[in-house]
Amino acid sequence: MRFQGKVAVVVGGGSHDDGWSNGKACAVAYGREGAQVAVLDIDVSAARKTAETITSVGGQAIEVQVDVCDLGSVNDAIAAVLNQFGQIDVLHNNVGVTHMGGPVDLDEETFQRSLDLNLGSVYRTCKAVLPGMVERRSGVIVNVSSLAAIRYTGYPYFAYYAAKAAVNHATTAIAMEHAPNGIRANAVMPGLIDSPLIYRQIAGQYVSRDEMVDARNRAVPLGRMGTAWDIAEASLFLASDSAKFITGVCLPVDGGQSCRV
């Protein structure tokens, strides 16, 4: 029960899918380890499903609607969490959206939207949560980035590469600025993960779903894609006191893919 007595906010933790998204797995994992969990999502019914999963196994959770592209909405959501739980110990940013296309293919609106979702979500949530952490001189931020932040992964999502690279550097900047305040910040970089997202946003790059799964499994040195629980385990470690001397780290969780030339 590494998070007993702590409050974890999981942004992008909702899920309508039968499978386990990264955000849903992380939210449930925090709950299983004793945290009071606030599941934030633009789709409040999806957030409610994750919250109900947590409460069904004896945890405590609430769902809160949020639009991470709107600072007022983020401020309202964080205020609702503080009103319910009184503090925030862990901010876990899980929002990630891929938009296919290179600079020539992407229209400007889609490019800006991708930056706003993938990077702007980190800015707005940190802006809303950090003052309370600074006041308490305690807190942890975990930003879910991507292997795409440091490697070309073969997919033509220019804006996603750029945004996730920025998330990595933003994470280290937060870590260095707020280390004197007792606040840690780290990023998790998922590699090829078998999650519901790939069937919605990636499958169109392949002839079939089976071809996609086979190709992604073969691309990983360990011979298989990871799961959302691999991301959850890494995230909880970085958020826990077991990692109390770790900050500013961008951790690949990729089955060795980042080591391959």
CA dist 174 and 129 (Å) reads: 12
Q: What is the 3-state secondary structure (H, E, C) of the chain?
A: CCCCCCEEEEECCCCCCCCCCHHHHHHHHHHHCCCEEEEEECCHHHHHHHHHHHHHCCCEEEEEECCCCCHHHHHHHHHHHHHHHCCCCEEEECCCCCCCECCCCCCHHHHHHHHHHHHHHHHHHHHHHHHHHHHHCCEEEEEECCHHHCCCCCCCEHHHHHHHHHHHHHHHHHHHHHHHHCEEEEEEEECCECCHHHHHHCHHHCCCHHHHHHHHHHHCCCCCCECHHHHHHHHHHHHCHHHCCCCCCEEEECCCHHHCC
Q: Is 157 assigned a catalytic role?
A: no
Question: Catalytic: which of 160, 161, 199, 206?
Answer: 160
Q: Return the active site residues.
A: 160
